[in-house]
Amino acid sequence: MNKKKLCCFYVNDIHLITMLLPYINERINEGTEVITMMETDMSKSAKKVIEEIQGKKSKSLLEIDWESKSLSYLYECDIKDKLILISGTKEFIKETNKIVANRNESCMILNCFEIIQGSEKLQEILDAHDKVVNTTGERNAEEVFEGYVKKDYSEITL
Q: Is the pLDDT of residue 152 over 70?
A: no
Residue 136, domain member (yes or no) = yes
Q: Is the pLDDT of residue 142 over 60?
A: yes
Mean pLDDT, all residues of the chain = 86
Please indicate whether residue 32 or residue 136 has the higher confidence score (pLDDT): 32
Residue numbers of the domain that contains 78: 3-144
Report yes or no: 129 and 5 within 8 Å, Cβ to Cβ.
Answer: yes
Residue 133, domain member (yes or no) = yes
Side-chain half-sphere exposure of 83, counting CA atoms within 13 A: 22
Give 104's pLDDT tier (boundaries 50, 70, 90): confident
DSSP letters for 67-88: SB--TTHHHHS--TT-EEEEES
Q: Is the dihedral of CA 130, 123, 33, 1 positive or negative?
A: positive
CATH number (domain holding residue 115) = 3.40.50
Domain count, the chain: 1
Residue 157, domain member (yes or no) = no
